[in-house]
Amino acid sequence: MALTTDPLAPDAELGRLIDEESTALHDRLVAFRRDVHAHPELGHAERRTTQRVADVLTDLGLEPHILPIGTGLTCDIIGPDHPGDSGLIALRADLDALPLVDAKDVVYASKNEGITHACGHDVHTSVVLGAAHVLSSLRAHGLLRTGVRLIFQPAEESSPSGAPDVIRAGGLSGVAEAYALHCDPRTTVGQIAVKRGAITSAAVMVKVNLRGPGGHTSRPHLTADVVGALGALVTQTPFVLSRRIDPRSGASLIWGRVRAGTVENAIPRTGSLGGTLRILDVPGWRTAVEMLPGLLNEIVAPFGVSIDLDVGPGIPPTMNATRAVARLVDAIERQLGADAVARTGQSLGGEDFAWILQEVPGALARLGVRPRGVAERDWPDIHHPAFDVDEECIDVGVRVLSRLAATPHPGPEPA
């Protein structure tokens, strides 16, 4: 391909080639997405999906490296003038599905009973795989001046989740910044929604098991009231947390499960409680994780019950770096036009890409998947058994991530 000497030509040529390659890939990527959707796998069990991705990358002449845990992989695409061991731009996709029944009447409905891609990870995987195709072509045409690391991460929906596995395996070695897209039915297809700072919240799973000797409800003073202790935890913990954590952190503890007893006139020997603590900022998350075990013990102490806790670190908020968001917006505008940029608020959902952004700067953005002309209330939300996407979103994601990854980053962000 002959390039002109016009100083603006490389940028224009880059955009044109990305458009051409993305258009040519569309049908192939839709078929790939539907195959993955029809064969979903749960976290840390994504062996078929991992192998499908690895096979495609190998066919492109790339060298994928499966993570030591056996699922998930990384793969580098290095421009000819890039050193390859530093300054890499990471693009991350997640591979796992959810333990939900697929409620859609489509030809690509899940063939694995009780498992479905209800969060769009099949789309994320297809988008980053499409970017691999485009970036490989850019390299062949001498238009790739960056080094790119593709991260296909396992177990985003699991606890413990898969991002720490990527980090432990050295998946961020040499990475300067990292980016990811997440399907968003609140955003119309053709747009990508962005936000500086926290775009998701911290999410901490709280599990409590109580034990006592049990007894008759007519003589509660002779036993330990497990049900009463559970009630105290349900009602008091959120209130006390609101007095121990800065209100600006927006801590919200919602209980989703309470179990105890089988009859009305017996105090049970055991009971359990489970919920999720969500927090808007990193300082509040750190404070809550540190104080919560002691607080729960304090609340149940008057009841004389024994308590076992499972309160892990959870997931921190996903913190988008200001300059990373600016680079993402620039890529969207250059490749799709200014109208493709949308804005979004902070979600109370958790996203384990947050662990990656604790290590390197970067950004998560919302990929519009709702068809044009369909009201938000009429399209299923993520984690709904009928969730689906307008598959045009794959092409949109490929174009933007390819443009972003092919644009050299400006070096360390000033302090």
Q: Give the CA angle between residues 310, 311, 314 to the nearest 5°.
A: 130
Please say which residue of 281, 311, 341 terminates a domain. 311
- Residue 134's nearest CA partner among 334, 392, 396 is 396
Q: Model confidence at 11, in pLDDT bands (50, 70, 90)?
A: confident
Residue 413 within a domain: no
Distance in angstroms (rounded) separating the CA atoms of residues 214 and 199? 46
Distance in angstroms (rounded) separating the CA atoms of residues 286 and 291? 9
Q: Which structure tokens are listed for 371?
A: 């068809």
> Exposure pattern of 52-64 as b/e (b: 16+ CB <10 Å)?
bbbebbeebebeb
**According to the model, what pLDDT value does residue 4 have?**
41
Domain match, 148 and 20 both? yes
DSSP designation for 162: S
Q: Residue written as tokens 């177990």? A: 155
**According to the model, what pLDDT value does residue 413 have?**
59
Whether the per-residue pLDDT at 120 is higher than 50: the answer is yes
Distance in angstroms (rounded) separating the CA atoms of residues 252 and 347? 13
**According to the model, what pLDDT value does residue 12 have?**
86
Residue 27 within a domain: yes
Domain match, 250 and 284 both? yes
Number of domains in the chain: 2
Percent of the chain past pLDDT 70, that is, above it, reads 96
Whether the per-residue pLDDT at 1 is higher than 50: the answer is no
Distance in angstroms (rounded) separating the CA atoms of residues 160 and 314? 8
Domain match, 210 and 298 both? yes
Using an 8 Å Cβ cutoff, are 96 and 154 in contact? Answer: yes
Q: What pLDDT digit, counting tens, does each position of 266-305 carry?
A: 999 999 999 999 999 999 999 999 999 999 999 999 999 9
Distance in angstroms (rounded) separating the CA atoms of residues 51 and 70? 10
Whether the per-residue pLDDT at 197 is higher than 50: the answer is yes
Helices (H), 337-414: 353-359, 392-405
- Put simply, whether the predicted model's pTM sits higher than 0.85 gets the answer yes
Q: What is the mean pLDDT of the chain?
A: 95
End-to-end CA distance of the chain: 42
Q: What pLDDT digit, counting tens, does each position of 158-180 carry?
A: 988 999 999 999 999 999 999 99
Higher pLDDT: 319 or 408? It is 319
Domain that residue 347 falls in:
9-199+318-405
**According to the model, what pLDDT value does residue 313 have?**
86
Q: Model confidence at 9, in pLDDT bands (50, 70, 90)?
A: low
Domain match, 189 and 210 both? no
Helices (H), 340-391: 353-359
**According to the model, what pLDDT value does residue 27 have?**
98
Which parts of 252-331 are beta strand (E)? 252-260, 266-267, 270-279, 306-311, 319-320
The mean pLDDT of 94-98, rounded to a whole number, is 98
Residue 228 within a domain: yes
Distance in angstroms (rounded) separating the CA atoms of residues 328 and 179? 9
The mean pLDDT of 40-45, rounded to a whole number, is 98
Residue 195 belongs to a domain with what CATH number? 3.40.630.10
78: left (phi over 0), alpha (psi -120 to 50) or beta: beta
Residue 265 belongs to a domain with what CATH number? 3.30.70.360
Residue 3 within a domain: no
**According to the model, what pLDDT value does residue 137 have?**
97
Domain match, 87 and 192 both? yes
Percent of the chain past pLDDT 90, that is, above it, reads 93
Residue 112 within a domain: yes
Q: Model confidence at 363, in pLDDT bands (50, 70, 90)?
A: very high
**According to the model, what pLDDT value does residue 412 have?**
61
Q: What pLDDT digit, counting tens, does each position of 76-91 carry?
A: 999 999 998 999 999 9
What are the two backbone dihedrals, phi and then psi, of residue 298, each rounded to the nearest 5 degrees? -60, -40
Residue 149 within a domain: yes
Beta bridge partners of 95: none
Beta pairing class for 175-188 and 266-267 = unpaired
**According to the model, what pLDDT value does residue 160 have?**
87
Domain match, 98 and 83 both? yes
Domain match, 214 and 193 both? no
Domain match, 65 and 187 both? yes
Residue 230 within a domain: yes
Output the furthest CA–CA distance in the chain (Å, rounded): 92
Residue 414 within a domain: no
Domain match, 171 and 41 both? yes
Domain match, 150 and 274 both? no
**According to the model, what pLDDT value does residue 6 have?**
45
- For the chain, percent helix, then strand, then coil, each to nearest 5? 40, 25, 40
Please say which residue of 268, 288, 311 terminates a domain. 311
Whether the per-residue pLDDT at 3 is higher than 50: the answer is no
Please say which residue of 257, 282, 311 terminates a domain. 311
Whether the per-residue pLDDT at 154 is higher than 70: the answer is yes
Domain match, 170 and 248 both? no
DSSP designation for 203: E
Q: Residue written as tokens 């899940």? A: 110
Domain match, 36 and 173 both? yes
The mean pLDDT of 352-366, rounded to a whole number, is 97
Chain-centre distance for alpha carbon 225: 40
The mean pLDDT of 61-81, rounded to a whole number, is 97
